[in-house]
């Protein structure tokens, strides 16, 4: 292991221990009221209770299930739309301003419509995740498709490649680096939105766990939920960062 690689692992751990020490010391010094900011031992005990009861695992799986459905559905719908807008002038002129408009809306603004249209349960949460990522991915795909050098298509035309081969052998490989980066951003948005979505009309998930714990004045469990959300968010980001390093994905960068 190189020195730089070692520092990448050691420094975050050291920083985390410093933060933990400051947090614990502040609690011992009485800087925070015990009912509002729990100490690290209280949070650890709360984690133990949640893991032993199985609730933490169930809520985590519920949140990941909703994110998976909303995110994958958004990718399947947004990427083709982005390719069409990026490759053709008429759809771009007609649709791109509206994609930008809806992309600028806060996902939280859709909550009343989600509850009105889908009631309670999984569907409104999945809808919010879909709507918060669909326009982001569509816009990123559009920008990536517009950036593909035109010489690629001229060569394909000279070779007589059919549209299907142009799509799968030229366009998609060329936009993959930008697309994977966009998906990395979008999955982070989806993971943040699911927490907000689960705080209304849903009886499970990490967002509901945090809300339920707050209502019960169990701030240790609130922190447990927050830490779990953060850790899973980091793992999702690492997974997409690894995906960007696959040689076939890096083709479009010329590396």
pLDDT, position 255: 44
pLDDT, position 253: 47
pLDDT, position 89: 87
* pLDDT tens, residue order, the chain (255 aa): 556 666 677 888 888 889 988 888 888 887 777 678 888 888 899 899 899 999 999 999 999 999 999 999 999 999 999 998 988 889 899 999 999 999 988 888 888 888 888 888 889 899 999 999 999 999 999 998 888 877 777 777 777 777 777 777 778 888 888 899 999 999 999 999 998 888 876 888 899 999 998 888 889 899 999 999 999 999 999 998 888 777 665 555 444
Distance from C-alpha of 114 to C-alpha of 251, rounded to nearest angstrom: 40
pLDDT, position 151: 79
Are 136 and 186 spatial neighbours (Cβ–Cβ below 8 Å)?
A: yes
pLDDT, position 25: 87
For the entire predicted model, the pTM comes to 0.85
pLDDT, position 138: 94
pLDDT, position 248: 61
pLDDT, position 4: 64
Contacts of 17 (CB under 8 A, 6+ apart): none
């Amino acid at each position: 292991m190189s020195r730089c690689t070692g520092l990448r692992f050691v420094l975050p751990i050291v920083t985390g221990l410093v933060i933990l020490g400051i947090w614990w010391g502040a609690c011992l010094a009485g800087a925070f009221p015990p009912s509002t900011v729990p100490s690290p031992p209280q949070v650890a005990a709360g984690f133990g209770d949640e893991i032993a009861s199985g609730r933490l695992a169930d809520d985590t799986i519920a949140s990941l299930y909703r994110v998976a459905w909303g995110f994958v559905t958004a990718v399947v719908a947004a990427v083709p739309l982005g390719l069409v807008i990026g490759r053709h002038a008429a759809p771009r002129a007609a649709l791109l301003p509206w994609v930008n408009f809806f992309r600028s809306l806060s996902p939280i603004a859709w909550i009343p419509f989600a509850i009105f249209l889908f009631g309670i349960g999984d569907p409104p949460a999945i809808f919010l995740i879909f709507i918060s990522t669909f326009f982001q991915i569509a816009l990123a795909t559009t920008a990536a498709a517009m950036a593909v050098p035109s010489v690629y298509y001229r060569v394909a035309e000279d070779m007589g490649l059919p549209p299907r081969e142009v799509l799968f052998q030229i366009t998609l490989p060329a936009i993959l680096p930008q697309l994977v980066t966009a998906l990395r951003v979008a999955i982070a948005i989806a993971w943040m939105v699911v927490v907000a979505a689960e705080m209304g009309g849903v009886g499970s998930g990490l967002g509901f766990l945090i809300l339920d714990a707050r209502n019960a004045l169990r701030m240790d469990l609130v922190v447990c939920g927050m830490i779990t959300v953060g850790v899973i968010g980091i793992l999702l980001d690492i997974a997409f960062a690894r995906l960007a390093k696959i040689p076939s994905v890096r083709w479009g960068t010329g590396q």
